[in-house]
Amino acid sequence: MIVMKFGGSSVANKKQIEKVLAIVRGRAAKAPLVVSSAHKGMTDALLAGAREATRGVYAPERVIERQAAIARELGCDDALLAPFFDEIAALYKGLSLVRELSPRSLDYAASFGERLAVRVIADYFTREGLPAQAFDVWDLGFVTDATFGAARPLPGYEERMKRAVKERVPEGVIPIVTGFVGRTEAGEITTVGRNGSDLTATLVGAALEAEEVEIWSDTDGVMTADPGVVPQARSIPEMRFDEAAELAYFGSRVLHPSTLVPAIEKKIPVRVLNTNRPEHPGTVIREATSPGELPATSIAYRGGQLAVTLCSTRMLGAAGFLGEAFQALGRHEVVVDMIATSEVNVSFTTDCKAPLDRALPELEKLGDVRVEAGKTLMVVVGRRLAEQPGLGAAILQAVADAGVNVEMVSYGMKSISLTMLVADKDVGAAAAVLHERLFERA
């Protein structure tokens, strides 16, 4: 069997859902399990409505009408979603009374997007001659911890899912399953994180030992750069798990950063495909690939970085200084993305402003601290980076030729990535020149 995940843009409206129906119908012989995101924009609308309710603006009809319009377009009976609409209205009424939005309430509000989408999609598929049934993922054994906003399935969920799918999914029926959400043993609804339907798909694929996980979006697979920044970007036919994981972490817009972990553990290939161009082969991500001709695989970037420099002569020949600094960061849960050190200073980046603000008083006891905002991490990823003499120098020269100053560099021994810190405003210029040198001259 295979797991097929469709993103919000793929199920945005009837026109897109018709494309999804044709794609799933064409794979019916592979016993697909379909994981669906919410319709494009629905999760944001649900959360906006919840936040408005806490400010005393009770207007559930806005989000209800948005979903109802899609259901009507698909020809669904009004009764199909009526109980969920009543539940949304009741939730917003409660929020408007208590004027408080907890992480638990946020997850509850956000969950409706997927729960509504799978029901209209399954109903439409069935009326179009492809028998389907909607499932909340927890009804198939996906029970999570209570980490609202970043929940993970409890140990042993794999066996629970195998049993539940066997017992609850009728033969010949395609399950349409909610992505992004989960539920605790106590029955509280959780989410695995924004854009987490990809992660749901690979967790489900790992549990069911799927032949492959397909991630369907609106791009031709993983690209050599962000097409919005570099129009000449092109699709990458295949890549290794470690390359894709690095790109996802550093800002690739195609995959959620945690998506590949379950697939890596079970060695299940992940294929990234385009709903609007299903004939395109996309990108397959797996443990081993054929040797590539190009020295690099892709360019990605991650904005919103704060660059922190801690300077102190206490570092000279002293053991334990860095330990003190990073213990302080750890106590305040500061996530460090990049680090560079010299004899008298340590520089690092983070995108966690509130935790950093809490840690600064402790860091200032160790030395002089400078914090600069408006920075971006730009990374070049490639399995052959460490094998090409002079490639690192060529990458830095290309950025210099773009008139961009590199403020920090990180390049580990035998690393598959070279990371540079640049100003936010320089991302477009640096990415364009790097792409031209690494991919367009080959």
Per-domain boundaries in the chain: 2-217, 298-440
Mean pLDDT across 118-146: 98
Position 260 confidence tier, pLDDT thresholds 50, 70, 90: confident
Residue 381 and residue 388 in contact, taking contact as beta carbons nearer than 8 Å: no
Mean pLDDT across 188-207: 93
The binding site consists of: 5-8, 43, 114
Q: In 225-297, where do the E strands start and end?
A: 238-240, 270-274, 283-286
3-state secondary structure of 213: strand
The residue with tokens 């009741």 is 90
What would the pLDDT profile of 209-226 be if each residue is shown by its tens digit? 999 999 999 889 999 998
DSSP state letters, 5-18: EE-GGGGSSHHHHH
- Tokens at 321, concatenated: 């200084």
Residue 90 and residue 132 in contact, taking contact as beta carbons nearer than 8 Å: no
Position 292 confidence tier, pLDDT thresholds 50, 70, 90: low
Residue 97, number of CB atoms within 10 A of its CB:
12
CATH number of 2-217: 3.40.1160.10
- Encode 343-355: b = buried (16+ Cβ within 10 Å), e = exposed: eebbbbbbebeee
DSSP state letters, 17-86: HHHHHHHHHHTGGG--EEEE-PSTTHHHHHHHHHHHHHTT---HHHHHHHHHHHHHHTT--GGGTHHHHH
Nearest to 177 by CA among 193, 160, 161, 195: 161
Position 291 confidence tier, pLDDT thresholds 50, 70, 90: low
Position 413 confidence tier, pLDDT thresholds 50, 70, 90: confident
Question: What pLDDT does 388 receive?
Answer: 79
The binding site for substrate consists of: 43, 114
The binding site for ATP consists of: 5-8
- Report whether pLDDT(286) > 70: yes
3-state secondary structure of 439: helix
Residue 255 and residue 222 in contact, taking contact as beta carbons nearer than 8 Å: yes
- Report whether pLDDT(353) > 80: yes
Mean pLDDT across 423-438: 94
Beta strand 132-135 with 33-36: parallel, antiparallel or unpaired? unpaired
Q: How much of the chain exceeds pLDDT 90, in percent?
A: 78
The Cα-based distances of 166 to 140, 141, 163, 173 in angstroms read: 9, 11, 5, 12
Architecture (CATH level 2) of domain 298-440? 2-Layer Sandwich (3.30)
Which amino acid type is present at position 40? K
